[in-house]
Structure 1
Amino acid sequence: MDRRSFVAALSAAPFVRRLSHAMPINRPGLQLYTVRDAMSEDVSGTLATLADIGCIEVELAGTYGMTATSFRRLLDEFGLRAVSGHTDFAEVRGDWQRTLDDAAELGHEMIVIPWLPEEVRTPDGYRAVADDLNRAGEAARRMGFRFGYHNHEFEFDAMDGVIPMALLLDETEGSLVDWQMDIYWVVDGGHEPLEWLGHYSDRVTSVHIKDRSAKGAMVDVGDGVIDFEKILRAAEAHELRHSFIEHDNPADSLVTVRRSFDYLMQEFAR
């Protein structure tokens, strides 16, 4: 099935979910949004704990009031590399050059837009967003960055026979805009990640690894039913460069990180 037929089929029928248990990856990173509570209380102590757990790569979701230079210095102190960073969509339509300059200072390889405001979530709004993403991606590429978009579940709600995630991917240039696939949210949106990887494997350069219970709750990696083995093997066979553990609302964020990291490393490391 080609992409055009795939997109048409998306609007016509629901996906069957195939969920089991998780898989091997070499060394996952961490999206620091997971530990935002701990970071807000003790940045240095939290980074030290992450290094002790075994984290090497992190993805930022802000610098906690510090300048890019100061935060980079702190990351270096603990042997952590901020290979990626999330930034607000407003920056794309604002002072994008400043965002790129900060990303360079922080040592990012890629910059990711993680969220869209509700007012742009219309078919025409998504098309305008795609144009903005192309322009931002072109500027990012000129400075040596990869640039991408991170999904939630709302991009999989059909509008006028169109799946917004497909629209964004089809209306953006593959050389300019990557897809950071959040596996949990694809599943939560009622779709099968493998189906999307089959048609957009060249766009998925990073993933968020977070698990889902049979009833839909977000849980620590290894406690849920998502079949990471099949999904990550498929992604790694193509363009996958980075993976990041994430949990949006953990009961104890550092415990969640340790449990999730240990699960992936001890049970499934190659």
Structure 2
Amino acid sequence: MPTRRDFLRLSALATAAGCTLGRIPSAFAADSPFIYGVQLYMVRKEAPQDLPGILHAIRQVGFTQIELFPIVYTHPAPELRRIVADSGLGLVSAHFDYASVPTKIDYAHQLGLEYMVCPMIPKDQWNLDGFHKAADDFNTWGRSVHDAGMQFVFHNHCYEFSPQATTTDGATTGFDELMKHTDPALVKLEFDMYWLAQAGQDPLTMLTRYANRVSLLHLKDRIANAPTGFVMGPTAKHITEMGKGTLNWPAIFAEAHKQGIRYAYLDQDDTTLPILDSLKENFAYLQTIKA
């Protein structure tokens, strides 16, 4: 259980976010079909210092789910599951490094997950052969994850959309190859709306095109007039709070609702606001969405 020190830290965090410990705001707009959560990467600086405290603060803002990130896998699965439950947050999804996926299936099962997400293909595989290897791995892992009662999911960025060498079928991208060579029943998608737009893709079009694949959403907005590209790093960071950028969230959520997508995770990699102020502002915007 959280200690008194955890409670005091939480009090300070919640105060910074403009919340009180005695009242938890509505988890989502009354007519919203979505369950909103936070990807733990967003609080990667705070989580190692006080995981119970930051989870409680996230819950106080109003989010009802957390999506885990590998920085917390030093905890045994039963202990980590308890920490999350004690915070009042739900847990159905978590990210696992590419190389660790096959070794973490039992750990994920012990956490009670529904989704095991691979967030990134190793950089030395960002070529045609590398994407084909990833597709083979995803099919293998997808079968094992499925047999363990979960779903394997891949999370996109922008590098996958870089043009690759022309194949016998014409020009292609890494993303095209992944979709072509993976089993739709075993390999699903967590579409990050920002990174789709950063790659020059239209998020709504992509969401519609891959309706049979998308299980989860990642949320962050993109500032106006920012250049697109396929290179990861600081030059690709044009991120802002939801509602302050250019993405058409009402249309995106309307399509996601039509597809039956339930879980949407805030994953604002960097913030100019203090982290909990950013969480609060994003959550307030989500309350305005009427799907």
1:86 aligned residue:
95
Deviates more, 1:68-77 or 1:132-141: 68-77
TM-fit CA distance, 1:64: 5.7
The amino acid that maps onto 1:242 is Y
Map 1:175-186 onto structure 2 (within 5 A). Answer: 175-186=185-196
Partners of 1:77 and 1:262 lie apart in 2 by 24
Structure-1-length-normalised TM-score: 0.85
1:130 pairs with 2:139? no
AA matched with 1:261 = F
Match of 2:183 in 1: 173
Structure-1 residue corresponding to 2:285: 263
Q: How far is 1:258 from its partner? A: 1.3
2:198 to 188, 201, 215: 188
| Maintained 8 Å contact 2:250/2:290 | no
Give 1:25 shift: 5.9
| Cα deviation digits, residues 41-69 of structure 1 (max 9, x gap) | 21111111111111211110121632222
- Give the deviation of 1:123 after TM superposition: 0.8
- Aligned residue number for residue 114 of structure 1: 119
Deviations 1:63-105 (A, max 9, x none): 163222211111111111221000010124xxx1x41111122
Corresponding position of 1:71: 80
Q: Select the residue among 135, 142, 147 that pairs with 1:142.
A: 147
What is the distance in 1 between the residues matched to 2:119 and 2:137? 14
Q: Residue 237 of structure 1 aligns to which amino acid in structure 2?
A: K
Q: Equivalent of 2:216, from 184, 201, 206?
A: 206
**Residue 47 of structure 2 is aligned to residue 39 of structure 1:** yes
Distance in 2, matches of 1:136 and 1:187, equals: 28
Q: What letter corresponds to residue 59 of structure 1 in structure 2?
A: E
| Contact kept? 1:57, 1:82, Cα under 8 Å | yes
Pairing 1:144-163 to 2, within 5 Å after superposition: 144-160=149-165, 161-163=171-173
Q: Give the drift of 1:234.
A: 1.5
- Structure 2 segments unaligned to the other structure (5+ residues): 1-31, 166-170, 227-237
Paired letter, 1:71: L
* Partner Cα distance (2:250, 2:106) in 1: 37
Give the conservation status (yes or no) of the 8 Å contact 2:239–2:268: yes
Aligned residue identity for 1:41: Q
1:12 is matched with none
Please tell me the residue identity of whatever aligns with 2:64.
Answer: I
AA of the residue aligned to 2:271:
P
User: 2:164 aligns to what SS in structure 1?
Assistant: coil
Cα distance in 2, alignment partners of residues 193 and 83 from structure 1: 24
Are the equivalent residues in 1 in contact too, given 2:145–2:152 (CA < 8 A)?
Answer: yes
Paired-residue identity, %: 31
The two structures, once aligned, show a CA RMSD in angstroms of: 1.5
Inter-CA distance 157–181: structure 2 relative to 1 (3 Å threshold): same
Higher helix share: 1
Residue identity in the other structure for 1:78: S
Quote the Cα distance in structure 2 between the aligned partners of 1:65 and 1:258. Answer: 28
Quote the offset at 1:239 in angstroms: 4.5
Give the aligned partner of residue 10 of structure 1: none
Q: Which amino acid aligns with 1:72?
A: R
Aligned partners of 1:99, 1:74: CA distance in 2, in Å?
19
Q: Distance in 1 between matches of 2:55 and 2:73?
A: 12
Aligned residues: 242
- Look up the SS of the partner of 1:124 in the other structure: helix
CA distance in 2, matches of 1:206, 1:104: 18
Please, which runs of 5 or more residues in structure 1 have no aligned partner?
A: 1-23
CA distance in 2 between counterparts of 1:68 and 1:258 reads 29
Q: Does 1:101 align with 2:106?
A: yes
AA of the residue aligned to 1:263: Y
SS at match of 1:38: coil
- In structure 2, the CA distance between the partners of 1:155 and 1:25, relative to structure 1 (3 Å rule), is farther
Runs (4+) off by over 6 Å: none
**What's the offset of the Cα at 1:26?**
3.2
TM-score by length of 2: 0.79
